[in-house]
Amino acid sequence: MSLSEKFAEWKGIPREEIDWNPTIDKDKCVGCGMCVSSCGRDVFDYDPDEEKAVVAKPLQCMVGCTSCETWCIYEAISFPDPEYVKELMKEEKVLSDIDKENLS
């Protein structure tokens, strides 16, 4: 999959080096399509043959977002432990360039 420039990096880190994307449990997915229609980053496709969602563009998932996991009332979507993202942020000091003057 070719990754557009828009999604190529997260906080200066190459996106393909970050292990963050949804995983679908096919046994639990009923194909309701909620995740497909709700994700603003077009991460999911719908497989009409299997009548299930598929993770088509995993690297377009916003790092740290778990919205689709919440939306899936069938609990078919899972993510890595969010602590992974927190540790990554600490290691890479991704917040150190925040302009604190403009936070208020």
Contacts to ligand SF4 by CB under 6 A:
22, 24, 29-35, 39, 41, 43, 53, 61-62, 65-68, 71-72, 74, 76-77
Minimum distance from CB of 26 to ligand SF4 (Å)? 9
- Where does the chain have alpha helices with state H? 34-38, 67-71, 83-92
The tokens of 36 are what? Answer: 């497909």
Between CA 94 and CA 28, with CA 63 as vertex, the angle to 5 degrees is 155
Distance in Å, CB of 32 to ligand SF4, minimum: 4
Tokens representing 7 are: 């999604």
Closest distance of CB 40 from ligand SF4, Å: 6
Q: Which is nearer to ligand SF4, 62 or 89 (CB)?
A: 62
Beta-bridged to residue 9, according to DSSP, are 14
